[in-house]
Amino acid sequence: MKKIKAVMVGQPNVGKSSIINAISNARLHVGNFAGVTVEKKEVEVRKGEYEIDIVDLPGIYSLHAYTPEEQVTKRYLLEESYDVIINVVDANVLQRNLVFTLQLLDMRKKTILVVNMVDEVEEKGGRIDGEKLSQLLGIPVILASAKHKKGVDEILDRVIEVYHQPKCGCKIYYNEKIEEEIENLAKILLKSPHFTDYDQARFYAIRLLEKDEDIYRIVHDLPIFLELHEALGEAIRRLQLEFDVEDVRDLFADERNALAKSIVMQVMQLPRQETLTDKIDKILIHPVFGLPIFLFFMWGLFQLTFEIGSLPVDYLDQTITNFANWLKDILPPGDFNSVITDGVIPAVGAVIMFLPNILILFLGINLLEQTGYMARAAFLLDGFLKKFGLQGKAFIPLVSGFGCTVPAYMAARTLKNPKDRLITMLILGFMNCSARLPVYVLLISAFFATHSAGNVLFAIYIGGAILGLFVAKVLRMVLFKGEPEPFVMEMPPYRFPSLKALAMELWIKSKLFIKKAGTFIAGAAMIIWFLSSYPHHPDLEARYIQKIEQTQDPKLKEQLQNELAAKKLELSYLGQFGKMIEPIFAPLGFDWRLSVATISGLAAKEVVVSTLATLYAVGEGNEHSSTLVQKLREYVDFKAAVALIVIIMIYSPCVAAMSTFYAEVPQWAWRTFYTIYPNVLAWLMAFSVYQVLAFLGF
Amino acid sequence: MNITDLKIAEEATITKVKAPEPIRGRLYAMGIAKGNRVRLLDHTLKKQTWEVDVEGTRVALRDEEAKAVEVEK
Ligand SMILES: Nc1nc2c(ncn2[C@@H]2O[C@H](COP(=O)(O)OP(=O)(O)O)[C@@H](O)[C@H]2O)c(=O)[nH]1
Ligand SMILES: [Mg+2]
């Protein structure tokens, strides 16, 4: 068995991942690139006597890497060892993609070119001559469509074929005068034992002429550096004079652009016509109607999340309560019975209930992303976000934050400027993640009228976003003076989302969620149950049991039973802890149970709901089968409920999110700031809201 | 003239990109480079953000960047 290692490189959105998914009989591994939290997808596939290993590198527009993700790809290309480069390009925008291909070909590595999305070109009535393209570039070319699985398996054959060639057959040369300078520099580089291969020296010479700092750093320590440095300066001066340019980088950009243009002219016919994207864009990013349409979409999403998502909630809630009661009767009484029926089932049930809401929200965000609308929203909001010291691209992590804060922190990598990135990350927590949804849905169902529920939910999400913008503005004025980074972004064409990919995402999401509920949340519930059931107080119990036996009145019996349960809970470890922290939350109208639930939310936001379920289930007689919502209405007042909502909106996200932030931001000062300020702010805001409501007479 | 002087749906040829590096490199990578045809598609209400089509790629840019792209009809 021979091993071939290949890397898949291309500009963003050309369909690399789709191709990887379309390769038959491949085994997929998902991991991270060493040292960074950029997802690394790798497939292994057998073909004859070969085992081919393909790494999917993050999308990159140019070897002049700009974002941290592009830097990952560039570093991988320069430093890792691999046998073959698979360069994927989008046939629709061949010229732009070929400019990058020409940069790759400078490396003179064994390369194959996959021209993807030919189906779209053909649909528009266009044609591409793959053979001619292959002749011009000197490398194998495959016309492919990941969507129709066309040409995908041929990639493997070509990889094996070029693997056996002695070297790259690339035929691309620049203008004679440029090549002359390249050769001069390459010769100097070859004097160093660091270089054994002319092609590599040529590549380095080109990159040096283009002022590539990564390469400059490598040659900086070589003994030939002085000679090289001088020759480089002269070469640059000569080229600037010869071609009348201010910067040699422009010269290479012009050369490659002109080459790409002439190649496209020779191999492709693409009639220019108004595309569907043109038509849709006329409406969706209309100067006047664009923003209202965007707001309407967002509003609609939250209405759907609540209205459809909560249809099964009451039913699920009742079913779970009945199930717990049924189990309580058939299991032998004792601790085991109690931990299951009072601890785990209500807690896990309380969280599972909200799976439909979460799935709808995730589906919505995925749709925004996959259809290409997310980029339009960034376009529409850039001017607005700029006022708050952010930029349009920050919209993408911000919206992802509505799904889950963890990937949102990672999505902030698309921002190049470190200040922009930090500001965005510091306010991401105010974008309410879907784990907080159960808490809101629960509290809204308990304390607001059904007909206004969707609007209240929308207001919570909008309120969080507005607060985030406001904080961003303050941060920009106080801590991060300076202009936000420039905004230049590709607007991908609208595409019908792949239903398979959507279903797959939802399936993975549900699986993860149920797993989390069954493990992490069930575990947390057991701990909470234990802390709320121990220590036992035999004399107290004995006293009450005596009293209960003495009375004949069933009403009084029940009342005494409830009293006993409440006393036991208050004397438990959790009750003691709650009493200890109660003073902090007392100004917000929280009793110790709400205080404990709030703290437990730092583990994961769903745990707030499960903790409430456990705490309020324990304090109740057995005959009742009232639901959590009814109990909350009984025990919590409206002002405190709203204050709790405000706290949940603002205070620190869960530990998983916090550790992601720590991983992404190495400075201790920022980590400390990030850990403290949301909690202080949350308390202050909740206190103000509580006072205002009290003043208004609620 | 530059991109911001075009009317919506108007086409022109790019003659020079004056933005400083590294933004210039980014514009090049998006296809905003000398000799390419550009068409203004849209702008926001206050003309702070612009959308153009260059050789089939749609690019959104801010006022500052759009003003740095010289064109010729
Ligand atoms: N019509 C068509 N669409 C494709 C093809 N390959 C990928 N796509 C779509 O292009 C978009 C980007 O693909 P993706 O694989 O995520 O690109 P990546 O960023 O390079 O990994 C997705 O919406 C895909 O469904 C293709 O061959 N034909
Ligand atoms: Mg991908």
Residue B52: CATH number of its domain: 2.30.30.90
In a domain? residue A616: yes
- Comparing CB atoms, the residue among A277, A378, A491 nearest residue B59 is A491
Asked if residue A13 has its Cβ within 6 Å of ligand 1, the reply is: yes
Q: Indicate whether A620 pLDDT > 70.
A: no
Neighbours of A141 (CB within 10 A): 23
In the DSSP assignment, the letter for residue A67 is S
Residues A447 and A481 in one domain: yes
Residues A419 and A453 in one domain: yes
Chain A residues within 8 angstroms (CB to CB) of chain B: 61-62, 64, 66, 92-93, 95-96, 99-100, 247, 249-250, 253-254, 257-258, 261, 270, 277-278, 281-282, 285-288, 290-291, 375, 378-380, 382-383, 386, 392, 486-493
CA distance A311 to A284: 31
Nearest one of A320, A302, A323, A313 to A353, comparing CA atoms: A313
Residue B69 phi/psi, 5° resolution? -105, 110
Query: How high does pLDDT run on average in chain B?
Result: 91
- The pLDDT value given to residue A624: 46
Residues A335 and A478 in one domain: yes
Domain total for chain A? 4
Ranking A141-155, A286-300, A350-364, A428-442 by mean pLDDT, the lowest is A350-364
Residue of A284, A291, A489, A495 to mutate for B, most B C-beta atoms under 10 A: A489
Residues A413 and A502 in one domain: yes
In angstroms, what CA-CA distances link A653 with A427, A594, A600, A684?
11, 17, 11, 17
Q: How many Å lie between the centroid of ligand 1 and the Cα of residue A371?
A: 11
Complex ipTM more than 0.90, yes or no: yes
Work out the average pLDDT over A632-654: 92
Q: How far is A383 from chain B (nearest CA, A)?
A: 6
Q: Indicate whether A521 pLDDT > 80.
A: no
Return the residue matching tokens 């003239």.
B1
CA distance A528 to A607: 10
CA distance A110 to A108: 7
The answer to whether residues A90 and A13 touch, using CB atoms and an 8 Å cutoff, is: yes
Q: Indicate whether A75 pLDDT > 80.
A: yes
Residue B8, token pair as written in the block: 């919506």
CA distance A274 to B12: 17
In chain B, which residue's Cα lies nearest the Cα of A284? B42
Residues A479 and A334 in one domain: yes
Residue A507, token pair as written in the block: 């399936």
- Beta-carbon contacts of A261 under 8 Å, excluding residues fewer than 6 positions away, are A95, B35, B36
Residues A104 and A11 in one domain: yes
Work out the average pLDDT over A620-636: 68
User: Which ligand is the nearest neighbour of the Cα of A121?
Assistant: 1
Asked if residue A147 has its Cβ within 6 Å of ligand 1, the reply is: yes
**A177 vs A28: which has the higher pLDDT:** A177
Confidence of residue A30 (pLDDT cuts 50, 70, 90): low
Residues A234 and A327 in one domain: no
In a domain? residue A281: no
CA distance A58 to A10: 8
Neighbours of A116 (CB within 10 A): 27
Residues of chain A found within 8 Å of residue B36, distances taken between Cβ atoms: 257, 261
- The pLDDT value given to residue A33: 62
HEC readout, A183-213: HHHHHHHHCCCCCCCHHHHHHHHHHHHCCCH
In a domain? residue A279: no
The answer to whether residues A409 and A519 touch, using CB atoms and an 8 Å cutoff, is: no
Sheet bearing A2-10, strands edge to edge: A27-32, A39-47, A50-56, A2-10, A84-90, A111-116, A141-143
Q: Indicate whether A310 pLDDT > 80.
A: no
Q: Indicate whether A207 pLDDT > 50.
A: yes
Asked which of A269, A299, A316 is the last residue of a domain, the reply is A269
Confidence of residue A639 (pLDDT cuts 50, 70, 90): very high
Residue A109, token pair as written in the block: 């590595």
Ranking A115-119, A440-444, A507-511, A604-608 by mean pLDDT, the lowest is A507-511
- The pLDDT value given to residue B54: 94
The size of the A-B interface in CB pairs under 8 A is 130
- The pLDDT value given to residue A56: 92
Domain total for chain B? 1
Residues A550 and A603 in one domain: no
Residues A191 and A100 in one domain: no
| Percent of chain A residues topping a pLDDT of 70 | 97
- Comparing CB atoms, the residue among B25, B46, B55 nearest residue A383 is B46
- The pLDDT value given to residue A37: 54
Q: Indicate whether A31 pLDDT > 70.
A: no
Query: What's the one-letter identity of residue A81?
Result: S
| Percent of chain A residues topping a pLDDT of 90 | 40
Q: Indicate whether A622 pLDDT > 60.
A: no
CA distance A597 to A350: 14
Q: Indicate whether A229 pLDDT > 60.
A: yes
Work out the average pLDDT over B54-73: 92
In a domain? residue A278: no
Q: Indicate whether A17 pLDDT > 80.
A: yes
- The pLDDT value given to residue A35: 54
Half-sphere exposure in the Cβ direction for A327 (13 Å, CA): 18
Residue A43, token pair as written in the block: 């497939």
- Beta-carbon contacts of A283 under 8 Å, excluding residues fewer than 6 positions away, are A289, A293
In a domain? residue A658: yes
Q: What is the DSSP pairing of strand B37-43 with strand B49-54?
A: antiparallel
Ranking A49-53, A613-617, B17-21 by mean pLDDT, the lowest is A613-617
CA pseudo-torsion sign B31, B36, B40, B44: positive
Work out the average pLDDT over A200-223: 92
Work out the average pLDDT over A172-181: 92
DSSP-derived 3-state class of residue A625: coil
Q: Indicate whether A26 pLDDT > 50.
A: yes
Interface of B with A in 30-69 (CB under 8 A): 30-31, 33-36, 41-46, 48-49, 51, 54-62, 64-65
User: Which residues form the domain of B17?
Assistant: 3-72
The answer to whether residues A526 and A339 touch, using CB atoms and an 8 Å cutoff, is: yes
Work out the average pLDDT over A164-185: 90
Confidence of residue A358 (pLDDT cuts 50, 70, 90): confident
Ranking A68-72, A138-142, A635-639 by mean pLDDT, the lowest is A68-72
Residue A519, token pair as written in the block: 């493990």
CA distance A594 to A639: 13
- The pLDDT value given to residue A510: 80
**A62 vs A277: which has the higher pLDDT:** A62
- The pLDDT value given to residue A623: 41
Class of residue A192 by CB neighbours under 10 A (exposed 0-12, middle 13-18, buried 19+): middle
**B45 vs B67: which has the higher pLDDT:** B67
Residue A14 phi/psi, 5° resolution? -85, -10
Residues A378 and A503 in one domain: yes
Confidence of residue A571 (pLDDT cuts 50, 70, 90): confident
Long-range contacts of A306-312 (CB under 8 A, 24+ apart): A306/A357, A306/A441, A306/A444, A306/A453, A306/A454, A306/A457, A307/A454, A308/A356, A308/A360, A309/A354, A309/A356, A309/A357, A309/A358, A309/A359, A309/A360, A309/A361, A309/A441, A310/A356, A310/A357, A310/A441, A310/A445, A310/A453, A311/A356, A312/A356
Confidence of residue A523 (pLDDT cuts 50, 70, 90): confident
**A171 vs A310: which has the higher pLDDT:** A171
- The pLDDT value given to residue A232: 94
Residue A51 phi/psi, 5° resolution? -115, 115
Q: Indicate whether A36 pLDDT > 60.
A: no
Q: Dump pLDDT digits (tens) for A78-109.
A: 999 999 999 999 999 999 999 999 999 999 99
CA distance A256 to A206: 12
Residues listed for chain B: 73
Q: Dump pLDDT digits (tens) for A448-461.
A: 988 888 889 889 99
Q: Indicate whether A159 pLDDT > 90.
A: yes
Q: Indicate whether A689 pLDDT > 70.
A: yes
Work out the average pLDDT over A179-194: 92
User: Which residues form the domain of A546?
Assistant: 536-566
Residue of A293, A488, A490 to mutate for B, most B C-beta atoms under 10 A: A488
Query: What's the one-letter identity of residue A578?
Result: G
Contact A490 B43 (CB under 8 A): no
Work out the average pLDDT over A571-581: 87
Work out the average pLDDT over B41-51: 87
Nearest one of A660, A303, A266, A228 to A456, comparing CA atoms: A303
Asked if residue A370 has its Cβ within 6 Å of ligand 1, the reply is: yes
The answer to whether residues A340 and A331 touch, using CB atoms and an 8 Å cutoff, is: yes
Q: Name the closest-CA residue to atom 9, ligand 1.
A: A15
Query: What's the one-letter identity of residue A603?
Result: A
Contact B43 A287 (CB under 8 A): yes
- The pLDDT value given to residue A32: 61
> Quick check: B24 contacting A, CB < 8 Å?
yes
Instruction: List the end-to-end C-alpha distance of chain B, in Å, as a whole number.
Output: 9
Residues A18 and A56 in one domain: yes
> How far is residue A621 CA from its own chain's centroid?
45
Nearest one of A269, A114, A97 to B31, comparing CA atoms: A97
Q: Indicate whether B61 pLDDT > 70.
A: yes
- Region of residue A13 (phi > 0: left; psi between -120 and 50: alpha; otherwise: beta): left
The answer to whether residues A464 and A432 touch, using CB atoms and an 8 Å cutoff, is: yes
CA distance B25 to A477: 30
What angle do the packed helices A606-618 and A345-352 form, to 10 degrees? 140
User: Which ligand is the nearest neighbour of the Cα of A16?
Assistant: 1
Asked if residue A392 has its Cβ within 6 Å of ligand 1, the reply is: no
In angstroms, what CA-CA distances link A63 with A11, A49, A67?
11, 34, 11
User: Which ligand is the nearest neighbour of the Cα of A374?
Assistant: 1
Dihedral Cα A628, A629, A630, A633, nearest 10 deg: 120
> Quick check: B20 contacting A, CB < 8 Å?
no
- The pLDDT value given to residue B73: 86
Residues A558 and A576 in one domain: no
Asked if residue A59 has its Cβ within 6 Å of ligand 1, the reply is: yes
In a domain? residue A629: yes
Neighbours of A468 (CB within 10 A): 25
Q: Indicate whether A337 pLDDT > 90.
A: no
Residue of B40, B49, B70 to mutate for A, most A C-beta atoms under 10 A: B49
Q: How many Å lie between the centroid of ligand 1 and the Cα of residue A570?
A: 58
Q: How many Å lie between the centroid of ligand 1 and the Cα of residue A72?
A: 21
Highest-confidence segment of A277-286, A307-316, A462-471: A462-471
Confidence of residue A621 (pLDDT cuts 50, 70, 90): very low
- Comparing CB atoms, the residue among B28, B29, B58 nearest residue A491 is B58
Q: Dump pLDDT digits (tens) for A230-246.
A: 999 999 999 999 999 98
Nearest one of A119, A114, A123, A111 to A143, comparing CA atoms: A114
